[in-house]
Amino acid sequence: MTTTETRSVLLRTAIPGPRSQELLARREAAVAAGLGRATPIAVAEAHGAIVTDVDGNRLLDFVSGIGTLAVGHCPPEVSAAIQAQAERMIHFSALVGTYEPYVALCERLNGAVPISGPCKTLLANSGAEAVENAIKIARAATGRPAILVFEGAYHGRTLLTLTLTSRTFFKKRFGPFAPEVYRAPFPYAYRMGVSEEQATEQCWAAFERMLVAGVDPDTIAAVLIEPVQGEGGFIPVPAEFMRRLRGFCDRNGSLLIADEVQSGFGRTGTLFAIEQTGVEPDLIVSAKSLAAGMPLAATIGRATAMDAAHYGGVGGTYGGNPLACVAALATLDIIERDQLPTRARAIGAQIRARLAPLLDAEGPGPLVGDIRGLGAMLALEFVTDRNSRTPAPAQSVLDILSRALQHGLIVMRAGLYANCIRLLVPLVISDEQLDEGLEILIDAIRG
């Protein structure tokens, strides 16, 4: 147990407090209603794993900006790099000229990705934009139009990336969608009720049927997959399934694109999650924890593919902004210096050990049916019955999140059925802070 003197959580008001409620009312009046929010808190400042709201409440953050803050909130090295760069140059645009932080970051990323041979990088503002760049590059490199994606995938909210995204909740009334996107079953062993090996065999059989009944293989430019599905429920791709995708792409002349927007930069216990499958992709898409919260994304891949787009065919006004680039360089320094992939594995082990008893526990509310993920990218899936694995109602999971928030822990949902709780703690969190947050979460689950 964490003593009162050493607790990170400090609650001065109910959540949300009066000042948070005032700011929420202003948001409701001023901001488009379609912008969702996971919590009713209004944040004043944040450092490390701790968030302080406008009412002075101190909370633990197990969301990290949806996986954006592997190095925590406001790491001093990143803040200093941004401040120093802001005094020299805030913006110029790589479409206009060249500046050292852009080139230095691309060089660093080219050497960091698990892709053999010469690599090149294109910087952008968001994961969705980087995915779109990857699709354009794959089409240019292969001369083909079709993109193959998977059930449960999340790749963004622009028109093309929303087409690639699986969950229908995000798509309501936004169609028609982009053409030449085909969706295959994903080996989600828990929900299929089979072993990982059986899920791989069943989904591979469906994949091969698709090549006969769904899309001509000769038209497939790329296979796009998350090595660990994010929004879909933190489901790692079985290594054998990934190996078979690599084999198909090699035989078919298609590119394999790994979407590591949420799983990249140490979160899963390796710098990139796909490293744990032993498979090399042709392109990697990254964002989120790349720049400690600054808007930055990267499409990185084999130089032969990356150079396929015509001169002037890719880019954007703000892509690779100098402030974001220096933030990313400082972030990579922290990840390497503090061995955060190793820390992620230790965090994951600590979480699993604390939460494992919930797999057998009964209670008045939903039951924990599965705990899964890689490293410190973990999720709990809730069901109404462990034998049938019926997804728990979304509201029952929201109730757990609400109870956790009332006691000072910020957590968030995931999953196709919105019946999972995702855990994305900052990798700089202390063991004591992690234990304190897990204590709150367990109490919230038990009701």
- Residues 190-205 pLDDT 10s: 999 999 999 999 999 9
As a whole number of angstroms, the distance between CA 262 and CA 283 comes to 15
3-state secondary structure of 260: coil
Supply angle C-alpha 140, 143, 149, rounded to 5.
Answer: 80
As a whole number of angstroms, the distance between CA 120 and CA 141 comes to 14
Task: Give tens-digit pLDDT for 89-131.
Answer: 999 999 999 999 999 999 999 999 999 999 999 999 999 999 9
Task: Give tens-digit pLDDT for 221-258.
Answer: 999 999 999 999 999 999 999 999 999 999 999 999 99
Structure token pair of residue 138: 């794959």
Number of Cβ within a 10 Å radius of residue 432: 13
Go through the domains of the chain in sequence order and give each one's CATH number.
Answer: 4-61+340-446 (3.90.1150.10), 77-337 (3.40.640.10)
Chain-wide mean pLDDT for the chain? Answer: 97
φ and ψ at residue 382, rounded to 5 degrees: -105, 140
Structure token pair of residue 143: 């001369």
What global pTM score does this model have? 0.96
As a whole number of angstroms, the distance between CA 386 and CA 371 comes to 13
Average pLDDT of 392-400?
Answer: 96
Number of Cβ within a 10 Å radius of residue 263: 30
Categorize the per-residue pLDDT at 2 as very low, low, confident or very high, splitting at 50, 70 and 90. very low
Answer for the pair 355, 380: CB distance below 8 angstroms, yes or no.
yes
Task: Give tens-digit pLDDT for 14-59.
Answer: 999 999 999 999 999 999 999 999 999 999 999 999 999 999 999 9
Q: Residue 397 above 60 pLDDT?
A: yes
Task: Give tens-digit pLDDT for 305-359.
Answer: 999 999 999 999 999 999 999 999 999 999 999 999 999 999 999 999 999 999 9
